Amino acid sequence: MLNIVIFGAPGSGKGTQSEKIVEKYGLDHISTGDVLRAEIKADSELGRAAKQLIDNGQLIPDDLMVSILEAKLNALTDSKGVIFDGFPRTIAQAEALKKMLNKHAEDVTAMIELDVPEDELMTRLLLRGQASGRADDNEETIKKRLIVYNEQTSPLKEWYKNDGKHCYINGLGELDRIFNDIVAAIDSRI
């Protein structure tokens, strides 16, 4: 199986590039942000709890997030592999993912880091906020999301370097150039 972690700050292009990767490699796509937004839309108990945290730019607790991810993973059938978008976001989540995959004699094939400067992230997310109305795409919440990313999520770069899976991609510029770089990184590992 081809298991890809697509990684980067809010607005770095994880969702955009995931769609292209899914199309090329026929993978299943698990976006934990999309899962949570669907729960919010359904007004479930989980959705109501998640909304408060998401609107404040904070992470959902690890144990809850890991069990949501595990349920999504277990529900897949005949999968060629998975692109993990927005997960893991903490070292505890990365360790849990490795354990889950190892249980099935699988592992992460590559962790693709999309590197984009903060001023560009802010511009992209404010623009998307105007167009799509995503509740966490406002200046105040974006700033909090970036702080949380820098403090809790960016240490995963080192974690994946130590695990031998980290691939650096310059995420600034043309969509197709970025995608070609991602494909080259993935193909060098399969």
Interacting span for Mg ion (CB under 5 A) from 7-15, 43-51, 61-69, 112-120: 7-15
Q: Does 178 sit near ligand AP5 (CB under 6 A)?
A: yes
Q: How far is the CB of 50 from Mg ion (least distance, A)?
A: 15
Per CB under 6 A, the list member of 3, 4, 7, 13 interacting with ligand AP5 is 13
Contact partner, 111, from Mg ion, ligand AP5, none, Cβ < 5-8 Å per class: none
Residue with tokens 């770069």: 157
Of residues 78 and 179, the one with the C-beta less far from ligand AP5:
179
* CA gap 94, 88 in Å, rounded: 5
Please name the residues in contact with 84: beta carbons below 8 A apart, sequence gap of 6 or more: 3, 4, 5, 6, 30, 69, 97, 108
Q: Does 15 sit near Mg ion (CB under 5 A)?
A: yes
Of residues 14 and 124, the one with the C-beta less far from Mg ion:
14
